[in-house]
Amino acid sequence: MTLPATASNEQRVTSNESPHRALGLTDAEYERICELLEREPNDLELAMFSLLWSEHCAYKHSRKLLRQLPTEGERVLMGPGENAGAVALGNGQAAVFKVESHNHPSAVEPFQGAATGVGGILRDVFALGARPIAVLDSLRFGELDSERSRFLLDGAVRGIGHYGNSIGVPTVGGEIYFEAPYESNCLVNAMCVGLARSDRMLRSAAAGIGNPVVLIGASTGRDGIGGASVLASAELEEGEEKRPSVQIGDPFEESKLLECCLELLDRGLLVALQDLGAAGLTSSAGEMASAGGVGIDIDVSRVPLREEGMEPFEIMISESQERMLAVVEPADLEPVLATCERWQTGAAAIGEVTGSGRIRVLRDSEPVGDLPVEALVDGCPLYDLDPEPPRSWTYGNRATLGGDATAAETLAALLASPNVASKRWAFEQYDSIVGSRTVRRPENADAAVLDVPEAGGAIAVAIDGNGRRVACDPYLGTVEAVLECAANLACGGAEPLGLTNCLNFGNPEKPLAAWQLERAIAGLVDACERLGVPVVGGNVSLYNEGPDGPIYPTPVVGMVGELPDASRAPGSAFAQEGDAIALAGPFAPSLAGSELAKLRGDLDLGLPQTDLAALAAALAALREAVRAGSVASAHDVSDGGLACALAECAIGAGLGCRVDLDPLVEKRGVSGETALFGEGPGGFVLSGEQRALQELASSDLPLLVIGEVGGEQVAIEAAEQSLSVPLAGAERAWRSLASRVEDS
């Protein structure tokens, strides 16, 4: 039998290498497996262990740290350990959501990697009985002048659009960053939000001795074999052919599967339901058995196949898409199979729940593998990290903007920067309004707003992260990612109910990545505790390294918040000529780690300290002001600083602005340049009637009236700096990315 091969950072595959090493297991891990089994595993069992003990499935370098995360909250209905997290809304409704990565598959085959990333996160959500109502994506690529990066960008964006549009779930938000450290290893993180009745949600735990185990969905093939270990648990290397490890998606098959599963759940015909993702049947059966404290028998001869001659190990670890594993009661088996037939989705009873506490793999009723569930799922050793902070900036710098550029030239360069410029060319490939819930969509507001009349209100959703700033300071950069996401929700008047995260880092066996991961999780813990936002689930993606080194450490944060009335959520663009413009919040700008520092090739370690208590209070005050209808527009200060935020508000409205930042310069003791282009959390550009804005000022929400909406220029004074850019020119720079992508 030929086994799938992988390699860890320290152990490379050779022709005479031990089978366990070829599968990514260390000698110590193999010895541990033999101790747990009290014998040597056969080839099938070894393949199953290699996947469930891989980094992607076992979280063996991060699980100890993840235990620190705050997961409790009065609105939390389901937390970590389930297919997705869930928080309570009104009227017995629940928001179900999760974010996951599909980084390494997308670096190998971007279209299918990104498409199946969307398919997988959709299944995680409807596995709980929730109907998916929104998708968001967070993408990272190398610099845009790289041919490889443009190839990956094009494929990933098309893959996301293909799957989401075909299945009829709107893509309502996201982000795209371009930084050199992602050149060899792009990041594709997908988030899904669903809506469910809280009393009808289903857990994944198998139950009921003798209950049939039913495989629902597409037939099983060889695509994706070894994906969890080959791609997601090892560094990418040049010259390795790994396309066969990338799954192939079919959104039309998934659409039928989704509707079929939701009907089965609505009719109460399922005891448990689990997505088949990484490691396929091995993972789904093992996790269901572990969660229920039972055993499961799987007969591979009953599994519907689309390829002849598949070996038992191939069937058990195949990652073919659009499949779910269900547990049903014997009396419900025929109705389940009949419902699947009506939806034209495959279904077969392939096993049963047992009281053995073991996963048994049979072929034509003859055992070919027999493993204790506890050993397979929970027996993997967990490792302590060996962190060491860097002594200097290790990612390199490349200057694209001279230090002698004028303020107007600097603003134009920042607006045209791929990280700041409009991504409309990308999100226009996505259907953002299918389903008729979308009230605020990309470039219309800082967070997507979705109407949820079933719950008597609305929700806002956002996804955020900035790997460059986390590389400057992993703790503070991660705190800022949480604050940025909460700020986007606050601009729509939404209160965060729960958080999901995707932690994208390099090789945890190396001191730098270990330190970054440890400090980032500490920042995530502190920020969530201060804001009172529970972590309900997430994903860890490690070994994101290529021949040129690791990615920026990139924790991506997704949040779901609640607001009472979607119609009162303001947009980010100025509303009308003559409105006053105010800067609200405890904003303390700095050029450290900023987009301008990147353009000047001036990146280094360190970010300014943040006052979490003050920032949390400001977010709460802003949220209440928005809900009260006191502001006509709200936009947080982010990439490119205050000048870029003002320009974006003006471009969105087709109205210029006249602004004086001298009060900020005096209050914060910063230069005019820093006031214009400095970054940091806690800054909000508000517009509206001047008296109403001034009445918002408080100790929790400091506020400066800085200008007025109107004219055809973006005109800003800031101490020694001043600029006046025609609105048409600012918009031309901001929208220039589309032509650069198309021309390349």
Reply yes or no on whether the pLDDT at 246 is more than 90: no
Q: By the 8 A CB rule, do 561 and 515 touch?
A: no
Query: How would residue 8 be classed by pLDDT, with cut points 50, 70 and 90?
Result: very low
**Alpha carbon distance 363, 604 (integer Å):** 58
490-547: pLDDT as tens digits = 999 999 999 999 999 999 999 999 999 999 999 999 999 999 999 999 999 999 998 8
Q: Classify 717 as helix, strand or coil.
A: strand
Among 362, 378, 394, residue at a domain's last position: 378
Q: Tell me the pLDDT band of 9, cut-offs 50, 70 and 90.
A: very low
- How far apart, in whole angstroms, are the C-alpha atoms of residue 161 and residue 156? 9
- Residues 640 and 419: their CA atoms lie apart, in Å, by 9
Alpha carbons within 13 angstroms on the beta-carbon side of residue 376 total 31
Q: Looking at the structure, do residues 543 and 676 belong to the same domain, yes or no? A: no
Can you give the pTM of this predicted structure?
0.94
The percentage of the chain sitting over the pLDDT mark of 70, rounded to a whole number, equals 95
Strand pairing class (347-354; 76-78): unpaired
**Beta-sheet strands, E only, within 209-300:** 212-217, 272-275, 295-299
Contact 576, 361 (CB under 8 A): no
In a domain, 390, yes or no: no
Taking 50 as the threshold, does the pLDDT of residue 177 lie above it? yes
Say which residues have a Cβ less than 8 Å from residue 739's Cβ, sequence separation at least 6. Answer: none
User: For residue 12, what pLDDT is reported?
Assistant: 34
Grade residue 245 by pLDDT with cuts at 50, 70 and 90.
low
User: Does one domain contain both 606 and 729?
Assistant: yes
Active site residues: 56, 102
Asked if 560 and 130 touch (Cβ cutoff 8 Å), the reply is no
The three-state secondary structure class of 733 is: helix
- DSSP-assigned letter for residue 80: B
Is 186 in the same domain as 240? no
The arithmetic mean of pLDDT across residues 52-63, rounded, is 94
On whether the CB atoms of residues 89 and 95 are closer than 8 A, the answer is yes
Same domain for 560 and 600?
no
Task: Decide if 676 is inside a domain.
Answer: yes
Is residue 597 situated within a structural domain? yes
Residue 235 is predicted with a pLDDT of: 62
Last residue of a domain, one of 329, 348, 378: 378
Is there a single domain that holds both residue 541 and residue 632? no
> CA distances (Å), 215 to each of 40, 327, 417, 586, in order?
30, 9, 48, 54
Return the CATH number at 133: 3.30.1330.10
Task: Looking at the structure, tell me whether residues 732 and 608 fall in a common domain.
Answer: yes
Provide the sign of the torsion angle of the four alpha carbons 635, 496, 476, 383, taken in this order: negative
pLDDT-based confidence at 443, cuts 50/70/90? confident
Domain that holds residue 665: 580-743
Confidence band, pLDDT 50/70/90 cuts, at residue 64: very high
Short-list 443, 503, 496, CA closest to 467: 503
Name the band, by pLDDT with cuts 50, 70 and 90, for residue 154.
very high
- Rg of the chain over all Cα atoms, to the nearest angstrom: 26
Spell out the alpha helix ranges (H) of 554-698.
Answer: 595-599, 612-627, 641-653, 662-668, 672-677, 690-694
Does 337 map to a domain?
A: yes
Tell whether the model's pLDDT for residue 233 goes beyond 70.
no
Q: Select from 319, 144, 154 the least CA-distant residue to 249.
A: 319
pLDDT in tens, 648-684: 999 999 999 999 999 999 999 999 999 999 999 999 9
The CA-based angle 337-338-344, given to 5 degrees, is: 90
The two tokens of residue 317 are 């670890």
What tokens appear for 642 in the block? 């205050």
Please name the amino acid found at residue 631.
Answer: V
Q: Please compute the mean of the pLDDT values over residues 173-183 and round it to a whole number.
A: 96
Question: Is residue 254, in this structure, part of any structural domain at all?
Answer: yes
Residues 192 and 210 in one domain: no
Residue 281 maps to a domain:
yes
356 and 262, same domain (yes or no):
yes
Residues 6+ apart with CB under 8 A from 246: 105, 108, 109, 112, 113, 116, 223, 224, 227, 231
Of 343, 378, 413, the residue that ends a domain is 378
In a domain, 709, yes or no: yes
Co-location of 169 and 242 in the same domain: no
Q: pLDDT per residue over 278-313, tens digit each?
A: 889 999 999 999 999 999 999 999 999 999 999 999
pLDDT tens-digit readout, 725-739: 999 999 999 999 888
Residues 516 and 584 in one domain: no
**Are 673 and 690 found together in one domain?**
yes
- Give the whole-angstrom CA distance, residue 488 versus residue 561: 10
Tell me the pLDDT band of 247, cut-offs 50, 70 and 90: confident
- The model's confidence at residue 442, banded by pLDDT at 50, 70 and 90, is confident
List % helix, strand, coil for the chain (3-state, nearest 5): 35, 25, 40
Which tens digits make up the pLDDT trace of 541-594? 999 998 889 999 999 999 999 999 998 999 999 999 999 999 999 999 999 999
- What CATH number should be reported for the domain holding residue 685? 3.90.650.10
What pLDDT is attached to residue 6? 35
pLDDT at 7 over 90: no
Residue-by-residue DSSP string for 141-161: ES-TT-HHHHHHHHHHHHHHH
Within 8 A by CB and 6+ apart from 36, the residues are 372, 375, 379
The overall average pLDDT reported for the chain is 93
* Res. 740 pLDDT band, cuts 50 70 90: confident
Residue 384 lies in a domain: no
> H helices then E strands: how many in the chain?
26, 28
Residues 668, 546 share a domain: no
Q: Which of the residue ranges 118-122, 260-264, 389-393, 736-740 would you say has the lowest mean pLDDT?
A: 736-740
pLDDT at 5: 35
Side chain identity, residue 331: A
How many whole angstroms separate alpha carbon 529 and alpha carbon 518?
17
How many domains does the chain fold into?
3
Average pLDDT over residues 711-735: 97
- Dist CA 559 CA 462 (whole Å): 6
pLDDT score recorded for residue 505: 98
* 319-378 pLDDT per residue, tens: 999 999 999 999 999 999 999 999 999 999 999 999 999 999 999 999 999 999 999 999
